[in-house]
Structure 1
């Protein structure tokens, strides 16, 4: 008879959005199994995502410096084994790094994510696509814990952890806009997004917050110049401070990007624009209304899982060219009506 684990060691490195998607699943796992403890191992930057959750511990592992290369990963595995008392391992990433770490932990049950690569290839191949919604990444994460004897009943409800300040009454409507994504095939053309900002700023009750990285800030500062109701967040706050600010938004306008997932953690409605990727691939925001998606029905979509390949027909960001700023504006306004 399988022994029920008491402390699961979880691995998920890499992209911020993918790591953020673990949070609601881990919350449900712990809520449904009160005797369980979980330690998630990820890069130190991700720590704020996991704060304030009872029985959820964070172990920061700098795999780019302190634990770099084969020797560094072996060192990390030995340190984890020495410092923590766990009786099961859940690999929510399953890449070479985590495979090496798993190899040197030894002696405990291990469950690994099924990424559904073949299904995703069928959905993204240029011809004869098999178009259908695939299993969500949230469910794929939950399936890993089920393999360890700890099933998780997935709910489509938001995590309900909104900042208390976001519930205070105010006359302004706070609109967060995150116009950037890692790959061009996932980005709405910036000139068109600038037009969306101009449409939204016309209403005096709208206060607009522009999110991005420090390197992206100069573009956003140009958009905000001379407009007192537009505030540039990019590059000016710590990650913890950005999360607190996102939690106070009345709506977020994003790409298929990390900001969609960050806002979803706080129950903030997200209007998301999709190009080379597609919600059917399983990466849509937690608890978000499918009606808030903006996309065009083109036979070439989706052209890739992560948006790292240009559309074979329309090129980079080509799948978004038919989406007008007015369409985006109306979709955001609909949240308030």
Structure 2
């Protein structure tokens, strides 16, 4: 199918497929928002894993969340076929397949849309009517938005949506719950609140608990309130930091709407190269992001003007695109070499 022969307005049921991590889904939401603004008459679905479903449901641009539980009830080819059936039942006419795995290629094939568009790096490329060049030089948000370039009414105008603001459904109840929780912990609104989010799915992306605890103590000495948060799987890590720094941990206690509400209430988030970067920026909160084995040039850095990245210039960086379970050199110098006294002024600058 020739590029630019497609008209977006010829499709009224558009599904975006992103079955990776929570942060990847956060970076997908600008595409859904752009679709809503360009073609408001269409219905938009987002295909995600269970952990990301509550986030997808928070976006006004997402009309339907289709969950693919690839490690649970939908494991194996049978589960993939059931997910394809759910897409057919929803009536998906156009698939924008951002995830590049074999699973998603098969899903695109078995769901039988009128048109499926994938990436130039996608598995089973013959499945797709069109493949979008993978922009190594682009941020992931822009790589996702570039899927719009093939449509006649968009073309290169997709770039105009690079800084689109994602509209979220009201978080009023979640905000009230978070405020009550913070008050129960003795945290009042007068002092600036800094949230530490020390987790990551990849061990080598994590700044040390010792450094996080030192930073927390330094921030308290500057008059800040500090809380630590993370997923349930990160509870032990967060509680270790909280114990060392004598600050509260909310790890495992917040659902996604409450986490977004907490980040909105926060003056600054300190985290690794992980999902909290993108969740905090969704609600307009600046982050100080600590990059170790990965580099911002991969396309997953914070994007807000008031956010910043701290990293060390080392010949061994980057050592992988995702990070790993252990440092290949056994030193973890990329993150161990970032000291709390280097991070502190960057956080304080974002509180002014």
Q: Tell me the TM-score normalized by structure 1.
A: 0.84
1:192 aligns with 2:211: yes
1:65 & 1:150 partners in 2: Cα distance?
Answer: 40
Match of 1:142 among 138, 142, 145: 145
Structure 1, residues 9-44: CA drift from partner, whole Å, max 9, x if none? 111112111111101221122123223321111123
Query: Equivalent residue for 2:321?
Result: 305
1:318 & 1:47 partners in 2: Cα distance?
Answer: 36
Report the more deviating stretch, 290-299 or 255-264.
290-299
1:192 & 1:336 partners in 2: Cα distance?
Answer: 20
Query: Equivalent residue for 2:101?
Result: 95
Q: Which has the higher contact order (CA 8 A, sep 6+)?
A: 1
The offset of 1:98, in angstroms, is 0.8
Distance 1:248 1:2, change over 3 A: same
Q: Which has the larger share of helix?
A: 2
Match of 1:259 among 256, 266, 276: 276
Matches for 1:320-331 after TM superposition, within 5 Å: 320-331=335-346
The offset of 1:227, in angstroms, is 7.0
Provide the alpha-carbon RMSD of the alignment.
2.9
1:214 & 1:146 partners in 2: Cα distance?
Answer: 39
1:171 aligns with 2:190: yes
Structure 1 unmatched runs, 5+: 118-131
The offset of 1:335, in angstroms, is 0.6
Query: Equivalent residue for 2:30?
Result: 24
Query: Equivalent residue for 1:120?
Result: none
1:88 & 1:309 partners in 2: Cα distance?
Answer: 38
Distance 1:157 1:172, change over 3 A: farther
Number of positions where the alignment pairs a residue of Structure 1 with one of Structure 2:
317
Structure 1, residues 152-197: CA drift from partner, whole Å, max 9, x if none? 333336547596769x993121111011212232111221221111
The DSSP-based 3-state class of the residue aligned with 2:141 is helix
1:288 aligns with 2:304: yes
Distance 1:318 1:250, change over 3 A: same
Structure 2 unmatched runs, 5+: 124-134, 180-187
Distance 1:231 1:93, change over 3 A: same
Query: Equivalent residue for 1:121?
Result: none
The DSSP-based 3-state class of the residue aligned with 2:265 is coil
CA contact (8 A) 2:34 2:164 kept: no
1:66 & 1:89 partners in 2: Cα distance?
Answer: 23
